[in-house]
Amino acid sequence: MDFGKVLYVGPACRYPKGGVASVLYAYSTMLDPFIFVATTKGGNAAKLLCVFVVAFFQFLWKLCNPTIKIVHLHGASNGSFWRKAILICFAKLFRKKIVYHIHGGGFKVFSKKHAHVVPYILKKCDVIVALSEHWKDFFEKEMKCKNVVVIPNVIEEPEEDHSIRKDDVCNFLFLGKICKEKGIFDLMDVLGENKNIFKDKLKLYVGGNGDKEKLQGLITKYDIDDLVEYVGFVSGERKRQLLNNSHVYVLPSYVEGLPISILEAMSYHLPVISTNVGGIPEVLHDNVEGYVVEAGNKTQLADALVKMMNMGEERVRMGERAFQTCMPYMPEKVKKKLSMLYDSLI
């Protein structure tokens, strides 16, 4: 497959912040050439608008190139959807094949709020890419999409070096947006309400942007600064260090697509504690690669933390099973699936 025939569209990915940008960054390293237009780079409303206006004209210019046969857009809900909707309409005018790759766990709620517009835009696309069988089923049954394929989120090859890990305490890792939907505040409640159980046995590292003030407020309220360390937004070498230093990954989300962070953690042989939402149950099975808890169930979350904290060899075996589960998400596997998809369209 000549990847020079494909134009990729999505958030800026050179210094990725968030799951979609991480996927696109991985694409940029494994696909050659990688022709790309960034539609957003973060910031306030004025900056978002300016970036999109520039991206729109870059997009039109690239559509004029007859070599480009396929437009592969990566998007989610809210503003991301409306930006992609505009670009999809123009790509259709230029008679390009359109692949719409939909990320984010909030798309079900969003599509219900905009029940007329969302199906209209989706029907303009030649292929809808879903992150899991769960989401494929949603797009086929609820959105009535006819051509839906599952292509796993790609993860970078891990650079493992667990020699830096200290085993005197069990290190847990959370990476994601600091918000209610990711379950981080539930995690703080559990640690705070059971701090005597976890004291000197557990350490949680929290990485990400979002409501940092509320996070710090809960750490202060519960007096658990000895249990929790907020490390800010992390990427690159710092993220690799945290993954190598951790024993368990935890993400007690309320809504998800299929989190790239869970797959990355699995690639570092980390067992996972997460919830039964979105596509997560397709890669995380209770008592196999880790533990599955109900979203918002703090009792189950506390029990899972205690079990993992007190485990030895079985925790290692869970991590090995997690590694095996994430193999289909490695670059060469995903590249092959993309190539087959594009060949079917051209």
Q: What is the pLDDT of residues 74-85, one digit of tens each?
A: 999 999 999 999
Average pLDDT over the chain, rounded to whole? 94
Residue 48 pLDDT greater than 90, yes or no? no
Q: What is the mean predicted confidence (pLDDT) over 216-224?
A: 97
CA 242 to chain CA centroid, Å, is 17
158 near 227, Cβ under 8 Å? no
Residue 59, CA distances (Å) to 75, 137, 308 in order: 15, 31, 48
Q: Which amino acid is at 235?
A: S
- The pLDDT-based confidence of 248 (bands split at 50, 70, 90) is very high
Q: What is the mean predicted confidence (pLDDT) over 147-169?
A: 87
Tokens 């504690």 appear where? 273
Q: What is the pLDDT of residues 303-329, one digit of tens each?
A: 999 999 999 899 999 999 999 999 999
Q: What is the pLDDT of residues 263-307, one digit of tens each?
A: 999 999 999 999 999 889 999 999 999 999 999 999 999 999 999
The DSSP code for 18 is: S
What does the pLDDT read at residue 210? 93
List the single range of 101-110, 155-164, 174-183, 272-281 with lowest mean pLDDT: 155-164
End-to-end CA distance of the chain: 10
Helix, strand, or coil (residue 25): helix
Q: What is the mean predicted confidence (pLDDT) over 68-76?
A: 96
Cα distance between residue 143 and residue 163, in whole Å: 48
What does the pLDDT read at residue 41? 85
Q: What is the mean predicted confidence (pLDDT) over 84-96?
A: 97
Q: What is the pLDDT of residues 178-197, one digit of tens each?
A: 999 999 999 999 999 999 99
Cα distance between residue 191 and residue 176, in whole Å: 18
Residue 164 pLDDT greater than 90, yes or no? no
Residue 178's DSSP bridge partners are 210
What does the pLDDT read at residue 229? 97
Helix, strand, or coil (residue 195): helix
Q: Which two tokens stand for residue 189?
A: 């409640």
